[in-house]
Amino acid sequence: MCPIAAPARTDDAPRWASLLLEAPPDRLVRARSWARLLLPVLVTAYSVAYDARSAHELPDAVQLVAFAAAGASLWAVRRAPLVPTTAGLACWALTGSCTYVMIAAWVVADRRPRGWWAALLVLLAVHPLGIVPDPCAYRAGHVTLPEATAPLLGVALPAALGTVTGEARRLVAARERRLRHEIALATALVATATIEERLRMSREMHDLVGRGLSRIALHTAAIEATTAEPRTAELAARASDAAARAVEDVRHVVGLLRGPDPSARAVPRLLRDEIAEARERGHVVRSSGLAALDALADPARAAVEAAGSEAVHNALKHAPGCTVEVVVRREDDRLRLCVTSGPAPGAAPPSPAAGRGGHGLAIAAERLAAVEGTLEAWSAADGGFEVVVEVPA
């Protein structure tokens, strides 16, 4: 199976921009929080100082209260934009400072709360109607444009800026929603394809493997019933029993493939079945501590049972007549399974290529890795073999 390459980056955004947008550092997050707290205070201090410079005198008590109320309203500018709009308009009428109105116009156009267009119309009309005085910038001589342009500079331009930023933010949010929808759709398609593939595999396994094993069981049973040779009848009975157990295993796998929740199904006792079958065939298999396997969760127990069964099967397959020892014990927070087999009587020392013929242990190692387990196997110099399995207990 070919590895899937990571998708190439298609955007041209600089790395720092992606970092700030996707995973801003903690320092930046804290700086934003402090900025939100301090900005209204700084804006109020600037507005008071600028008004005093324009009027050539300090604001009176009423004006100071208006400045303070308008500044405090900025803390609610994102949650309730109409609150600072009203407070900013009152401050403009009492002090001639339109700083808060500029901020309110920008936020109202950006957030678009209920009645946002009516609020902007009111802000645009108050100066032509004479409800508010000329802004401080005109009185201080910092603006050379006609005083009739005050609604343009104080309301229209900030509102235009707010419209641009708001539309950009909404466009990004809409694109993100679309991408999330596409990801969810792709995930659903993958899940559907996976279910269909599992159903196809279950049908193939049932029709091909299951039926083939059933025929083997029938033929061996027929041989057992018709032969006159005791040894042939014994071997036929063993083959029939093995085929019948294999049919049950196939049914179990088919159920796993077709079931909605394979993890909820019972885990077969593969290792203990393998040991019992080996003893029935006359092999010497010693075991201890197998009851400790029952304390494991089903996924871990299934992986350990499969690995132990594969180790016992391999030992008896490659060295018939050897003695196999299976030991299970718990060590601290891990459970350890050791399968040790001695050399078969008259067997030659193992070759360097021993144990490379099949994929059983490799598959067992993969299953153990899925439950944070490990598998180690090595050949001894005297021809024996040892497999050690560990999983979290």
Tell me if 150 sits within 8 A of 133, measured CB to CB: no
pLDDT at 360: 79
The pTM score is 0.51
Question: What are the tens digits of pLDDT across the range 12-47?
Answer: 556 665 555 566 677 777 887 888 889 889 989 988
Which amino acid would we find at residue 389? V
* Domain finish residue from 118, 144, 170: 144
Count of structural domains within the chain = 2
Reading the block at residue 306, the tokens are: 């499969």
Any domain includes 200: no
- Rounded to the nearest integer, the mean pLDDT of the chain is 82
Q: Read off the pLDDT band of 336 (50, 70, 90).
A: very high
Instruction: Give the domain CATH number at 389.
Output: 3.30.565.10
Any domain includes 271: no
Any domain includes 231: no
Tell me if 303 sits within 8 A of 367, measured CB to CB: yes
Domain range for residue 374? Answer: 283-345+356-393
Kindly state the average pLDDT of the residues 366-374: 90
Any domain includes 245: no
* Domain finish residue from 111, 144, 177: 144
Tokens 């600089």 label which residue? Answer: 14
Tokens 């603006």 label which residue? Answer: 143
Any domain includes 155: no
Any domain includes 388: yes
More confident position, 247 or 67: 67
Question: What are the tens digits of pLDDT across the range 180-199?
Answer: 999 999 999 998 898 888 88
* Domain finish residue from 101, 127, 144: 144
For residue 350, pLDDT beyond 50: no
pLDDT at 182: 93
Tell me if 312 sits within 8 A of 392, measured CB to CB: no
Question: What are the tens digits of pLDDT across the range 90-146?
Answer: 998 888 888 888 998 998 899 888 888 888 888 888 888 888 888 878 877 788 778
Any domain includes 382: yes
Q: Percent of the chain having pLDDT more than 90?
A: 18
Any domain includes 178: no
Q: What is the spatial distance between Cα 126 and Cα 162, in angstroms, rounded to a whole number?
A: 20
Kindly state the average pLDDT of the residues 348-368: 64
